[in-house]
């Protein structure tokens, strides 16, 4: 991109003058596979000034970069981290015309080639190269990948818009749905518990929102900062509203699918739910099937790429801290995908109810340990008042948090019975075909 600036960041790099070059120190931070001390030592010898490389895990690196940008000169950033950093104006872009071998370097990352020949792509992610418009720009130039999200969002919302226009009665039928037998009036504790086992498994996502909230800018002190509080509430505890809306939307499509004669098992399948939903949008069955397939492909790409990438980061960080070695991100990517395929072949989906029931208890125990530390231990002075996000300053094992979660999880799982036979109360509420 002529005249553009690469997304390769250099933050606060000192001006290097020939007369005092020996007094210069460049601080480079990154994860284990990109920070190699031998390279730093050789660079110091070749360049005549000191290059210090520090190995940090992914979350610690981005936290330090965001909160202490002046302590870093050259950060090695993931693609998602770059998107967090650019809008904050803490990156200094480099004009690509000043990089002599840029045209030869770029294909290494985009095609796995150097000067037309295939090279090893170990550790190189298949991400599009991102650019910023100018040296001090705070916006990333849009690429093709930025236009796929609106398409997916439109396909996700289109059935509900069409149903509201063409069949508004469906909302009434959904809100008055009395179960498969038509007798499930009133409150049923067993059904509530079965639903809660699924919903509580999503509580882990609420805790993960902390990872996003720590990147928020400082709150204004001269006046009440509505924007800051709105972002904090909506992006933190308010995120549960997004999950609730998605579950309500799914239940609407499920009821509509049942009204169209689908079996309960098929009505709970997202593919069939959206196939029925797109039937309200398009008249042609061929178009309905094609659009459904497109939507499923986009959704699976988003889900599986995210899970495979995040899983490889987790395995990489775990074994890097445990063994102090890194065989390459690709190895952990393949390892994570292999585990997913193995679980799929073992039929983990068929045991999803039991799996979510176990996981929901562990998720609640984890959140309980966090809440106990925030609302009990800190006010009583039993733990430090501040929250330490710099993992490099933390011990490898945390018997307090992990111990609290373990005890809470065991206490929750102890009275549970995971028998494959449904309870008598569920048998009275659900038909035999549903509980068999």
**What is the full DSSP assignment across 195-248?**
HHHHHGGGHHHHHHTHHHHTTSPPPPSSS--HHHHHHHHHHTTTHHHHHHHHHH
- pLDDT for 416 equals 61
Alpha-carbon distance values, 270 to 132, 267, 273, 346, 359 (Å): 38, 8, 5, 21, 22
Mean pLDDT, each 10-residue run in order, the chain (436 residues): 38 46 79 75 85 77 79 80 79 79 78 74 51 64 62 90 92 84 69 75 68 71 85 79 85 92 85 92 92 88 76 76 70 82 73 72 83 85 71 64 83 64 47 43
Angle made by CA atoms 150, 245, 178, in degrees to the nearest 5: 130
Three-state DSSP class for 284? coil
Per-position b or e across 21-53, b if 16+ CB within 10 A of its CB: eeebebbbbbbbbbbeeeebeebbeeeeebbeb
Assess contact for 65 and 11: CB atoms under 8 A: yes
Q: What is the pLDDT of residue 353?
A: 64
- The C-alpha angle with vertex 285 and arms to 283 and 291, in degrees rounded to 5, equals 95
State residue 130's pLDDT score: 62
**Residue 38 has what pLDDT?**
80
- Residue 336, exposed/middle/buried by CB under 10 A (0-12, 13-18, 19+)? buried
User: What is the DSSP track for 6-36?
Assistant: EEEEE-SPPP--GGGGGG-EEEEEE-TTT--
Q: What is the pLDDT of residue 276?
A: 93
pTM of the model: 0.58
Of the candidate CATH numbers 3.30.720, 3.30.70, 3.40.190, 1.10.510, the domain formed by 5-141 belongs to: 3.40.190
pLDDT at 434: 44
Parallel, antiparallel, or unpaired: how do β-strands 131-132 and 25-30 relate?
unpaired
Return the domain boundaries, the chain: 5-141, 148-435
> pLDDT value at position 81?
78
pLDDT of residue 207: 64
- Which among 283, 245, 259 is positioned nearest to 172, based on CA atoms? 259
Picking from 354, 318, 147, 173, the residue whose alpha carbon sits closest to that of residue 251 is 173
- Long-range contacts of residues 14-22, Cβ cutoff 8 Å, at least 24 apart: 14/73, 16/49, 21/48, 21/49, 22/48, 22/49
Beta carbons of 130 and 143 less than 8 angstroms apart = yes
């Amino acid at each position: 991109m002529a005249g553009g600036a690469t997304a390769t960041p250099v933050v606060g790099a000192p001006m290097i003058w020939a007369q005092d070059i020996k007094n210069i120190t460049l601080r480079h931070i990154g994860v284990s596979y990109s920070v190699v001390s031998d390279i730093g030592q050789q660079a110091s010898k070749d360049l005549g000034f000191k290059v210090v490389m520090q190995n940090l895990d992914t979350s610690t690196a981005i936290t330090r970069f965001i909160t202490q940008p002046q302590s870093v000169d050259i950060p090695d950033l993931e693609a998602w981290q770059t998107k967090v950093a650019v809008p904050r104006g803490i990156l200094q872009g480099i004009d690509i015309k000043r990089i002599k071998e840029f045209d030869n370097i770029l294909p290494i990352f985009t095609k796995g080639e150097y000067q037309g020949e295939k090279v090893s792509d170990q550790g190189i992610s298949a991400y599009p190269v991102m650019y910023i418009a100018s040296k001090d720009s705070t916006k990333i130039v849009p690429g093709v990948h930025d236009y796929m999200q609106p398409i997916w969002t439109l396909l996700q919302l289109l059935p509900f818009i069409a149903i509201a226009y063409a069949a508004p009665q469906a909302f009434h039928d959904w809100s008055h749905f009395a179960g498969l037998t038509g007798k499930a009036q009133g409150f049923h504790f067993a059904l509530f518990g079965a639903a809660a086992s699924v919903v509580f498994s999503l509580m882990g996502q609420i805790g993960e929102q902390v990872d996003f909230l720590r990147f928020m800018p400082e709150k204004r002190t001269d006046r009440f900062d509505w924007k800051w509080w709105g972002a904090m509430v909506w992006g933190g505890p308010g995120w549960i509203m997004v999950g609730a809306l998605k579950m309500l939307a799914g239940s609407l499509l499920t009821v509509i699918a049942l009204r169209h004669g689908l079996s309960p098992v098929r009505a709970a399948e997202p593919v069939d739910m959206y196939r029925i939903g797109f039937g309200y949008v398009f008249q042609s069955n061929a178009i309905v099937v094609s659009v459904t397939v497109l939507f499923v492909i986009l959704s699976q790409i988003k889900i599986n790429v995210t899970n495979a990438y995040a899983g490889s980061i987790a395995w990489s960080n775990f074994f890097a801290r445990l063994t102090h070695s890194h065989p390459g991100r690709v190895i952990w990517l393949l390892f994570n995908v292999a585990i997913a395929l193995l679980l799929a072949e073992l039929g983990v989906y068929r045991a999803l109810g039991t799996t979510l029931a176990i996981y929901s208890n562990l998720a609640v125990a984890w959140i309980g340990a966090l809440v106990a530390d925030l609302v009990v231990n800190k006010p009583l002075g039993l733990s430090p008042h501040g929250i330490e996000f710099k993992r490099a300053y933390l011990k490898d094992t945390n018997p307090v948090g992990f111990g609290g979660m373990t005890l809470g999880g065991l206490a929750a799982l102890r009275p549970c019975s995971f028998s494959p036979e449904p309870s008598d109360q569920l048998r009275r509420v659900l038909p035999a075909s549903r509980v068999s």
